[in-house]
Chain A
Amino acid sequence: MRDYDAMMACFATKSQFLTAARELKELGLCELDYYTPHPVAELEEIDPFDEASLQKSMLVAGVFGGASALLLEYYLLAVDYPLNVGNRPPASWPAFLVPAFECLVLAAGVTGFIAFLLLCRFPRLYQPVFNIEQFEPGEAFFISVRTTDKNFDDTAVRSVFARTQSTGVYDVPH
C-alpha cells in the first residue's frame, strides 16, 4: 500500500478534463473518480457507469408498499370488522385503490432516498479528498486516480496530467 491514497489533478476547462480522462482510460486505469461542478454527459462514453439499483429498489418497494396497503385495507374492512352499509360489497376495491396508490408512492419515494444514501455511503463526512485545500469541485474539474488500481504507474499518470495542462497535481493522503 502506497503512502498516499490517490493522485488528483485539477483542470480549468471541461475539454482538458475530458482529454485527460480519455488518456487515463487508455492507460488501462479503472479506479478513477471524477469531480465536476455539474454532471458531465460526455463521461458516459469515456467511462460508462450504469447502475440501476436505485430504480430497481424504488420499483420493488413501490409494488410492495401498494400491495401491502391494499391487503391491509382488505383485511381490516372486509375480513376483521366489515360494516354493512346499504348492503354494499365490503371488498370495495375501487375505493381501496386510492390509499394503496398513495402508499405505493410513499414507499417508492422513501426507499429511493434511503437507497441513494446507502449507495453513496452517506453520511460520509470525512473523505480523503477533503484534505486537499485546493479541492473545489464547485469551480473546477478534478480527476483522482486511486493508487490501489492495478495499472497505477506514478510517472505515466503524472505525464498525462502534464500533457493535458492540469493546473495542479496533488497527492491525496489517506
Chain B
Amino acid sequence: MNPQNDILGITLSNAPKGWILGFAASFVLFLVFMFAAIWLFAYGVGIWGIGIPVAWGFAIVNFVWWIGIAHAGTFISAILLLLNQDWRKSVSRFAEAMTLFALACAGLFPIFHLGRPEFFYWLIPYPNSADIWPQFRSPLVWDLIAVLTYTTISVLFWYVGLIPDLAALRDKANSKSKKRVYGLFALGWSNERRQWHRHRSLTIFLAALATPLVVSVHSIVSLDFSVAILPGWHTTIFPPYFVAGAIYSGFAMVFTIGIPVRKFYKLHDYITAEHLDRIAQVLLVTGLFVTYGYVCENFLRWYSGSEFERSLLHSHALGKHAVTFWTMLTLNAALPNIFWFRAMRRNAVVLFVSATLINVGMWIERYVIVTASLEHGFLPPSWGDYSATVWDWLLLLGSFGLFLSLLFLFVRFIPVVSVFEMKEKLAEERQ
C-alpha cells in the first residue's frame, strides 16, 4: 500500500470515462440550477409556492439542510483531530471538501430568498446616507457573519491541509503545465522541519477555532426559528437539536458520496470496513440524539398545555402533516437503529441506501419545521397551505448539480485522501 503512488496516481492520470460521464451529468444539472436562478431573478420570488402565511419555503429548507451537511466535514477534520481519532485521516480531506461545496450551495439560498436580492449588501454595516445599520441583535444578521466566517475558516483549513500534497503533486507531475499549476499553489513547500512545525500548529489552532464554529453556526441558524413566537418554532431545544441533526445528515452525506468514490477508485485499502463501521457508529449516536430531540420537542408540546402547541402536535401526528411527519420519524429515528448490528455497519450497499434515506429524512425534517409550523399558526384564520412549484424543485435538484460538479472537479484534480497523513500513519504502524 503506497499512498503516494495510489492516491497521487489517480490525480495525475487522465480522467476515466466514468468521471467524464458523471461530470457531464452533474454539469447539466448545474445548468438547470443556473436557469432556475436566472428565472427567479427575472420574475421574483412569486414563481415559488410561498405566500402568506408560509413566507419561507424551499429556499430556507435548502439553506438549513446544506449548512447542516457542511458541518460533518468540519466535525471529521477538526473535532476528531483534537480528539486524536486517527481513523479520521482517510476521510478528512474528502469530508472537508464536501463541507466547502455544501457551503457554496447553502450560501446562495439566502440571497435567492430575498424579495430584492440586489439589496443583500444592506446586511453589511457600511456608512450610508440613510445612516441606517443592520440589526445586530437579529439571528438573520448573525447568519451572514457566521456563514462567512465558517466559509473562510473552512477554506483556509482545507487549503492548509492540502499544501503538502500539492507539493507532492508538483514533484510527481508528469507534465510541465501540471508542475507549474500545482507548484504555484504549493507555495514552495519543501517538507522542511520548520514548515511542518508551523503547519501542525496552524492545523491544530484552526481545528480549535473550527470546533466552536460547528456548534455556533448551526445554533445561530436554528435561532432564526427559535426567536420567533410561532408554535413549533418557539422552543429552546432548537440549537442542540439542529447541531445534532446537522452532524447526522452530514455524516450520512459522507456515506452517500464517499461510498461510490471508494468503489470507483478502489480505495478499499484506505477507507476500510473499519472506517465505515466508525462512521456508521457516529450516525447511530447522532440519530439517537435526534430521536431524543423529537421526543422532547413533541412531549413538551403536549405537556405545555398550550392549546396552540397541542393543535400543532395533533396536526403533525394525526392531521394534515401526518404522512410527512411519520415518514420523517421513520427515516430519521427508526432507520439508524439498524446500525446496532455490526454486519449492517460494514455493508457498503446497506450504508449507501440508508445514508441516502437519512439525507431525505433530514430534508423532510427541515421542511416540516419550516412550512408545517407556518401553515399552522396561532388562530385558524391565519392558517394556510403551502405547495411547492416546479421552480422550487428545479432549484433544489439543481443545487445538487452545483455540489456534484464541484465534487467531480475535486476528485479529478486534488488527492482524494490526505497522502502525507497516510504516510505518517503507515510510519507509525511500522514502528
Q: Does B190 have its Cβ within 8 Å of any Cβ on chain A?
A: yes
The bracket for how many chain A residues form the interface is 35 or more
Query: Within the assembled complex, what's the spacing in Å between the Cα atoms of A84 and B63?
Result: 32
Given known contacts A99-B145, A130-B190, A51 and B125 CB-to-CB distance under 8 angstroms: no
Contact B197 A39, beta carbon cutoff 8 Å: yes
A23-31, A118-126, A148-156, A159-167 - the one binding chain B: A118-126
B200-208, B256-264, B359-367, B368-376 - the one binding chain A: B200-208
Query: Within the assembled complex, what's the spacing in Å between the Cα atoms of A9 and B138?
Result: 61
Interface residues of A in 91-116 (CB under 8 A from B): 92, 95-96, 98-99, 101-103, 105-106, 108-110, 112-113, 115-116
Query: Within the assembled complex, what's the spacing in Å between the Cα atoms of A124 and B194?
Result: 14
Given known contacts A76-B133, A98-B142, A106 and B153 CB-to-CB distance under 8 angstroms: yes
Contact A126 B188, beta carbon cutoff 8 Å: yes
Secondary structure at chain A's binding surface: helix, strand, loop or mixed?
Answer: helix
Q: Does A170 have its Cβ within 8 Å of any Cβ on chain B?
A: no
Interface residues of B in 75-106 (CB under 8 A from A): none
Secondary structure at chain B's binding surface: helix, strand, loop or mixed?
Answer: helix
Query: Within the assembled complex, what's the spacing in Å between the Cα atoms of A137 and B171?
Result: 9
For B330, the chain A residues whose CB sits under 8 A away are none
Q: Does B160 have its Cβ within 8 Å of any Cβ on chain A?
A: yes
Q: Does B427 have its Cβ within 8 Å of any Cβ on chain A?
A: yes
Min CB gap A80→B, angstroms:
7
Contact A137 B156, beta carbon cutoff 8 Å: no
Contact B188 A101, beta carbon cutoff 8 Å: no
Query: Within the assembled complex, what's the spacing in Å between the Cα atoms of A55 and B157?
Result: 15
Count contacts between A and B, CB distance < 8 Å.
Answer: 153
Interface size on B, residues (CB 8 A): 54
Contact A54 B137, beta carbon cutoff 8 Å: no
The one of A33, A102, A112 that contacts B216, using a Cβ cutoff of 8 Å: A102
For A83, the chain B residues whose CB sits under 8 A away are 135
Q: Does A2 have its Cβ within 8 Å of any Cβ on chain B?
A: no
Min CB gap A160→B, angstroms:
18
Given known contacts A39-B200, A136-B171, A105 and B209 CB-to-CB distance under 8 angstroms: yes
Contact B191 A138, beta carbon cutoff 8 Å: yes
Contact B191 A36, beta carbon cutoff 8 Å: yes
For A103, the chain B residues whose CB sits under 8 A away are 145, 149
Residue of chain B at shortest CB distance from A141? B191
Query: Within the assembled complex, what's the spacing in Å between the Cα atoms of A106 and B149?
Result: 5
Pick 18 A–B contacts, CB within 8 A, sort by A: A36-B191, A39-B193, A51-B194, A55-B205, A80-B131, A81-B133, A95-B136, A99-B141, A105-B153, A109-B209, A112-B206, A115-B202, A116-B199, A116-B202, A120-B198, A122-B187, A124-B188, A127-B190
B residues at A contact (CB < 8 Å) = 4, 125, 131-133, 135-137, 141-142, 145-146, 148-149, 152-153, 156-157, 160, 167-168, 171-172, 183-184, 187-202, 205-206, 209, 212-213, 216, 220, 419-421, 423-424, 427
